[in-house]
Amino acid sequence: MKKKTFIATASISLAILAVTACSKLLPSMIDPSQGLCGPISLSNAQTILFSQGNDQFFSNRTAATGLGPYFVATGCGSCHSSDNRGHPFTILTRFGQSDTTGNTFLAEGAPQLGTFCLPGYTPEQLPAGATSTRLIAPITAGVGFLEAVPDSEILDMVAANANNPDGVRGHPNYGTLPAYATPLTGAIPRADGKYICRFGRKGAIYNLLQQVATAYNHDMGITSTYLPNNPSNYLDPTPTSPNATPEVDNATLNSVVFYCQCLQTPVQRNPNDPTVVAGSQLFLQIGCAACHKQTLTTGYSPIDGLSNQTFNPFTDLLVHDMGAGDDDGYTEGSAKTSEWRTTPLWGLGLAPNVQGGYTYLMHDGRAHSIEAAIQLHGGEAAVSAGRFSSLSASDKNALLTFLKSL
C-alpha cells in the first residue's frame, strides 16, 4: 500500500516538474493586444495551407535546395522577423537609373544586387553608371488587407488631395502586369493598359504573387515557373537561361502567398489611454493623415476574412515626393527618385522588438527614432514636419506615444 502511495506521489510530482519545466522552455503565449497575432479567421483547409506557407516562409534555403548563386538572404524570415520590419543587417541594394524610361541595367544584373554568392562565383558589383538605393524590408503583417483595397478607393484618395493646402498630392505607381499575374478584383486599368501597383518601398509591385515570386528570385536566387531565370552578374561570363526544373514549385510558392495574404493586421495597444487619444488628435491636426490614412476598406476577396473589412494601416498606398533628403537617384516604374510609397504605420511601436532593441526607420533605416523619422520628412510632407517641430514638448510626447501605440 505504501509502495502504491509512493508511486502515485512520485507520478504527480514528475508531472508537476514536467509542466514547470515546459513553462520555462516554451515561449509564453502572445497576448493579441500586445502585438502581431497570426492569421485571420480561416477554415480548416485554409489553416492547413496557412501553416504550410508559414513553414516555408520561415525555412532557410541552401545551395542544395536552390539558393543562389547570388542572393541576399536564405529565407523570408531573415528579413521579416516575426512578420515585422527588417534590420540593417539584411538591407538590400537595388540599382538602375535616375529617369523613368525603364531600367537599362537588366543585362548587368539589375534590379537587385546579390549581396552574397555561392563559392566559386564572382561577387556582384554595381556596374558603372548605375544609380542605386538601399532598402530595409517593410512589415509583412496585414499585407493581404492592402492587396484587397479596391483601386476605386485608391483613386478617391488621389482626388481628395487635388486641392490639399499643404501641397500633398500623391499618385499611384502604374505598371505593366507580369504575364503570370491576373488583375485584382476591382482593378481599374489606365488607358495604356497599366495597373495600380501597391507593394514595395516605391510601390512598383502589383500583387502578393509578384512580391513573393520576386522575393524568391531576387532575394534568394530561387527560380520558379513565374521567374525561371537565376539572377545574373555581368562579371560572370556564364549567361543565365530558363531553369527547366524550377527550384520552388507553384504549390509551395502559392502557399507562401496565401500565408502573407492571411496575416492579421497589427493591433494597436492602449488606444484609450488619454495621452494616446491626445496624440491621435494631434496626428490629424498637423496633417499627417493626408498621406498616412488611418482607415481603409477592402472590397470583395475570395478569402472570406478579407472581404469588406475596415482596417487601420495608416497609408494611402500612393507614392509621394519626399524631397531632396530622400532623393536616392533611383526610379522604379513611374515613381521618381524622390518619390516613395507611404509606409503603413501599423506595428511601428513594435519595430524595436525585431530590430535588436533599437529603431531603424525610413526606407533605409537611417532614422533611429520616430521623432528623427518625422524630421526627415520633406517635399509634400514638409509642412506637417514643420508643424511637428513647433509643437510643445508635451504635445510632441503625446504624438510620439500615439505612434508607439500602433
CATH assignment of the domain containing 371: 1.10.760.10
Q: How confident is the model at residue 79 (pLDDT cuts 50, 70, 90)?
A: very high
Average pLDDT value over all residues in the chain: 91
User: Within a domain: residue 50?
Assistant: no
User: Within a domain: residue 335?
Assistant: yes
Q: How confident is the model at residue 242 (pLDDT cuts 50, 70, 90)?
A: confident
Torsions phi, psi of 82, nearest 5?
A: 55, 30
User: Within a domain: residue 375?
Assistant: yes
* Domain carrying residue 352: 274-405
Tell the burial category of 169 from Cβ atoms under 10 Å away from its Cβ (0-12, 13-18, 19+).
middle
CA dist., res. 50 & res. 42, Å (int): 9
CA–CA–CA angle 175, 332, 118 (5° rounding): 115
User: Within a domain: residue 198?
Assistant: no
pLDDT above 90 as % of the chain: 85
pLDDT of residue 33: 58
User: Within a domain: residue 363?
Assistant: yes
User: Within a domain: residue 199?
Assistant: no
Grid cell, residue 180, equals: 503570370
Q: How confident is the model at residue 240 (pLDDT cuts 50, 70, 90)?
A: confident
User: Within a domain: residue 208?
Assistant: no
CA dist., res. 367 & res. 17, Å (int): 47
Domain count across the chain: 1
pLDDT of residue 144: 98
Task: Look at 9-13, 80-84, 341-345, 390-394 and tell me which has the smallest mean pLDDT.
Answer: 9-13
In sequence order, the 6+-apart residues with CB closer than 8 A to the CB of 152 are 186, 188
